[in-house]
Amino acid sequence: MADSFGPVRGDGGVAGCRGTDPSAEAAGEPIRVLVVDDHALFRRGLEIVLAQEEDIQVVGEAGDGAEAVDKAADLLPDIVLMDVRMPRRGGIEACTSIKEVAPSAKIIMLTISDEEADLYDAIKAGATGYLLKEISTDEVATAIRAVADGQSQISPSMASKLLTEFKSMIQRTDERRLVPAPRLTDRELEVLKLVATGMNNRDIAKELFISENTVKNHVRNILEKLQLHSRMEAVVYAMREKILEIR
């Protein structure tokens, strides 16, 4: 399962019944995935690859963003694996509508587009992951599991571009905040800094010598204090408000 998806270009390093219900995870129900891409052959390839994963189930497919919204409303998947640029309605445009009809669904963009603008727009539209198509099959399955577990996933080359943009954003503005930023504890700042480097909960726990559940609690507290919805948004906020510094 170390094969890549073939001749696509990129630099990547990826509720129906289950949703985010912890009891469903305990019952061992598979992660339900909706595959959205305008190339039927690519959709079929993903289905074949993911069919080998016992904990992942492809419950449907769509050929464009408009069809994806309809399918998401009917199937209520846990994860929507979606291309960025498609006919009729693109993936980024479809993100917002999917979040409305299937609020518990998490969206991973899987695309050949390494344009910074597409990455930023996808994040703003509610995507939790952004992966380039030249990744191994193992990485797709791993990313699906990570996002289903509440983490964010970005291909390394795109994460680097994102951090570069954060730094530029800070350097371009000298505006002061009208309202003081919520105060984070020293430990929360440590966790947020590690989240900003792309670490997952398990790696953060090892780095700080704390349990994975403690990391999850810190991340939840950070999001509540900042009134944000995802780890990715927390990092963006921290960069903009100069809570963290990228050197």
At 55 the pLDDT is 94
Shared domain check, 135 and 229: no
Shared domain check, 149 and 41: yes
The model's confidence at residue 181, banded by pLDDT at 50, 70 and 90, is: low
Shared domain check, 190 and 149: no
Strand partners, 60: 34
- Between residues 74 and 3, which one has the greater pLDDT? 74
Q: Rounded to the nearest 5 degrees, what angle is found at the Cα of 131, between the Cα atoms of 173 and 108?
A: 95
Shared domain check, 136 and 36: yes
Does residue 142 belong to any structural domain of this protein?
yes
- pLDDT for 7 beyond 50: no
Shared domain check, 88 and 147: yes
Separation of alpha carbons 87 and 145, rounded Å: 28
Shared domain check, 193 and 144: no
| Tally of helices (H runs) and strands (E runs) in the chain | 11, 6
- Counted domains in the chain: 2
Q: Dihedral through CA 97, CA 113, CA 143, CA 35, nearest 10?
A: 50
Q: Tell me which H or E stretch contains 212.
A: helix 212-226
- pLDDT for 32 beyond 90: yes
User: For residues 142 and 1, is the Cβ–Cβ distance under 8 A?
Assistant: no
CATH of the domain at 188: 1.10.10.10
Q: Which residue reads 């219900």 in tokens?
A: 21
Shared domain check, 99 and 60: yes
Shared domain check, 205 and 111: no
Highest mean pLDDT of the ranges 14-28, 93-107, 127-141, 162-176 = 93-107
Quick one: average pLDDT of 218-238? 83
Of 129, 157, 185, the residue at which a domain comes to its end is 157
Of 157, 187, 206, the residue at which a domain comes to its end is 157
The model's confidence at residue 180, banded by pLDDT at 50, 70 and 90, is: low
Quick one: average pLDDT of 154-167? 68
> DSSP state, 6?
-
- CA 195, 201, 203, 205 torsion-angle sign: positive
- For the chain, how many residues are written? 247
At 38 the pLDDT is 92
CATH of the domain at 150: 3.40.50.2300
Which structural domain range is residue 60 located in?
22-157
Shared domain check, 116 and 27: yes
Separation of alpha carbons 241 and 247, rounded Å: 15
On average, the pLDDT of the chain sits at 79
- pLDDT for 21 beyond 70: no
Q: What is the DSSP string of 13-73?
A: ----SSTT-HHHHHTTPPEEEEEE-S-HHHHHHHHHHHTT-TTEEEEEEESSHHHHHHHHH
Quick one: average pLDDT of 82-98? 90
Does residue 41 belong to any structural domain of this protein?
yes
Quick one: average pLDDT of 93-109? 93
Separation of alpha carbons 234 and 140, rounded Å: 24
Does residue 55 belong to any structural domain of this protein?
yes
- Between residues 2 and 236, which one has the greater pLDDT? 236
Shared domain check, 71 and 135: yes
Of 125, 157, 189, the residue at which a domain comes to its end is 157
Q: Rounded to the nearest 5 degrees, what angle is found at the Cα of 41, between the Cα atoms of 83 and 103?
A: 35
Quick one: average pLDDT of 200-227? 91
Shared domain check, 126 and 32: yes
